[in-house]
């Protein structure tokens, strides 16, 4: 047992030494929270380098953590499953599901050649939707965990439309539509809109098809029945017709790029506007955060605030960029406030702020300050009326974000707790 503890300690110290040698930025930040075995636990991503990502399950009371995924995986866009039985994540373009009672995750092998999946959103325990590319255009798909996939919005004729950042609320589907004319991303050829439509009832259709496939016997007649059922499901364009015929434009930003639509209800949401051109030589990237709200029978959008992010965190800089790019840095809504980070060039700090939506008509800005010399913090996640922030590890004395080993030789994590 003593020998095992020594090896464990040696491995941990070697890992730390390796990061110093490589001079890579190292990040530690929470990505999801869950009740596990009757206790509050938080999933924390540890980016040791751009090619070395670890997922830890952390107890904020004891500070102790355990690795919850083999280090051979590269998890991004982690989502807790609707029944809280595990989580999903995207691993180098593949969707995987990890159940708590299983050692290894399973892969979802989608039946169509889609790619560039960055996020997925669960509808129920078996169905989810994604925006992904097919034939070089972004489409919105309904997907079942067994791999069945059905397009909801796809421009298969003109090949000028991208359907991005879908948000299902009730029976409504909100998304950002991007038009790219002549295949050029120049200002005069691109336009952006926020669209609302109907989400087709695909869950029941997929359930019927699955029942047919599962109940059929493995003989030639049943094979023909299965093949025809799958072909009919693939050829049926009713879902696309329903979605296309019920589209309503909620906001037209013309050539101004918008992204990351986040609906918190059928009548309210938020989204980003970003610079038209982002250069890798820029020191910061500026974003504007907007509200989208249905009031007095009209949809209105309003700029809430601007914030800056260091360009090296989200652009392709191998030693300093985040593996998840901007995802950990996106503003977060909680209890009528928007929590976000803003970079100060003079101090080189990336600090946490909040925008109170109930005070002074969205114009009241409150800063959550921390007495540190240099820091790069990320927006918090919330659980049990507590908020935890992660960010960059710098291993300087007094750094509040770190991994360490306690007296029992258990690996522990420190994050920053703020009070909302």
Three-state secondary structure readout of the chain: CHHHHHHHHHHHHHHHHHHHHHCCCEEEEEEEEEEECCEEEEEEEEEEECCEEEEEEECCCCCEEEECCCCCCCEEEEEECCCCCEEEEEECCEEEEEECCCCCCEEECCCCCCECCCCEEECCCCEEEEEEEECCEEEEEEEECCCCEEEEECCCCCCCEEEEEEEEECCEEEEEEEEEHHHCCCHHHEEEEEEEEECCCHHHHHHHHHHHHHHCCCCHHHHHHHHHHHHHHHHCCHHHHHHHHCCEEEEEEECCCEEEEEECCCCEEEEEEECCCCCCCCCEEEEEEEEEEEECCEEEEEEEEEEEEEHHHHCCCCCCCCCCCCHHHCCEEECCEEEEEEEECCCCEEEEEEEECCCHHHCEEEEECCCCCCCEECCCEEECCEEEECEEECCCCCCCCEEEECCCCCEEEECEEECC
| Residue 82 within a domain | no
| Residue 43 within a domain | no
Q: Which long-range contacts (CB under 8 A, 24 or more apart) does 34-41 make?
A: 34/80, 34/84, 34/87, 35/84, 36/100, 40/383, 40/384
How far is 384 from 389, CA to CA, in rounded Å?
15
Question: Cβ neighbours of residue 204 under 8 Å, at least 6 residues apart?
Answer: none
| Residue 316 within a domain | no
| Residue 370 within a domain | no
Task: Measure the CA angle with vertex 378, ends 376 and 381; round to 5°.
Answer: 150
| Residue 197 within a domain | yes
Q: Which pLDDT score is estimated for 186?
A: 66
Neighbours of 84 (CB within 10 A): 12
| Residue 156 within a domain | yes
Which residues form the domain of 233?
114-255
| Residue 136 within a domain | yes
How far is 12 from 21, CA to CA, in rounded Å?
15
How far is 81 from 54, CA to CA, in rounded Å?
20
Sign for the pseudo-dihedral over CA of 181, 185, 191, 196: positive
How far is 7 from 5, CA to CA, in rounded Å?
5
- What pTM does this model have? 0.88
How far is 97 from 93, CA to CA, in rounded Å?
13
Q: Which pLDDT score is estimated for 363?
A: 56
- Of the candidates 58, 115, 56, 65, which has an alpha carbon nearest to the alpha carbon of residue 90? 115
Q: Which long-range contacts (CB under 8 A, 24 or more apart) does 295-302 make?
A: 295/267, 299/250, 299/251, 301/194, 301/250, 301/251, 302/362
Q: Which pLDDT score is estimated for 17?
A: 45
**Residues in the chain where the model's pLDDT stays below 50:** 3-4, 6-14, 16-22, 370-371
Token duo for residue 147:
């791999």
| Residue 75 within a domain | no
Q: Which pLDDT score is estimated for 6?
A: 47
Structural domains of the chain, count = 1
Q: Which pLDDT score is estimated for 347?
A: 87
Give the total residue count for the chain: 420
């Amino acid at each position: 047992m003593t020998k095992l503890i020594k090896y464990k300690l040696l491995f941990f110290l070697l890992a730390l030494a390796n990061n110093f040698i490589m001079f890579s930025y190292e990040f530690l930040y929470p990505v999801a929270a869950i009740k596990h075995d009757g206790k509050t636990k938080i999933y924390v991503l540890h980016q040791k380098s751009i090619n070395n990502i670890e997922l830890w399950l952390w107890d904020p009371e004891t500070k102790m953590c355990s690795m919850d995924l083999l280090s051979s995986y590269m998890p991004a866009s982690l989502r807790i499953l609707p029944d809280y039985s595990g989580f999903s994540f995207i691993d180098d373009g593949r969707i995987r599901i990890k159940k708590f009672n299983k050692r290894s995750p399973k892969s979802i092998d989608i039946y169509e050649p889609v790619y560039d999946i960055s996020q997925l959103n669960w509808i129920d325990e078996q169905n989810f939707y994604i925006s992904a590319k097919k034939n070089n255009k972004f489409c919105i798909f309904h997907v079942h965990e067994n791999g069945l996939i059905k397009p909801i919005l796809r421009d298969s004729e003109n090949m000028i439309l991208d359907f991005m950042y879908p948000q299902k609320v009730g029976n409504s589907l909100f998304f950002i539509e991007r038009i790219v004319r002549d295949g050029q991303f120049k200002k005069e050829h691109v336009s952006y809109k926020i669209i609302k439509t109907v989400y087709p009832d695909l869950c029941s259709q997929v359930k019927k098809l699955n029942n047919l496939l599962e109940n059929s016997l493995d003989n030639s007649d049943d094979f023909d029945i299965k093949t025809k059922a799958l072909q009919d499901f693939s050829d049926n364009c009713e879902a696309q017709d329903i979605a296309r015929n019920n589209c309503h434009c909620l906001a037209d930003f013309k050539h101004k790029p918008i992204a990351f639509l986040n609906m918190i209800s059928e009548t309210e949401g938020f989204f980003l506007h970003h610079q038209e051109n982002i250069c890798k030589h820029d020191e910061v990237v500026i974003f504007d955060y907007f509200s989208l709200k249905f009031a007095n029978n009209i949809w209105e959008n309003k700029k809430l605030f601007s914030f800056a992010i260091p360009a090296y965190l989200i652009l392709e800089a191998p030693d300093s960029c985040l593996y998840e790019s901007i995802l950990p840095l996106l503003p977060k809504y909680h209890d009528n406030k928007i929590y976000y980070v803003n970079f100060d060039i003079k101090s080189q700090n990336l600090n946490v702020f909040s925008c109170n939506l109930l005070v002074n008509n969205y114009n009241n800005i409150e800063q959550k300050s921390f007495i540190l010399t240099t820091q790069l913090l990320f927006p918090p996640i919330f659980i049990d009326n507590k908020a935890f922030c992660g960010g960059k590890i710098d291993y300087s004395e007094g750094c509040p974000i770190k991994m360490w080993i306690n007296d029992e030789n258990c690996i522990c994590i420190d994050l920053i707790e703020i009070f909302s």
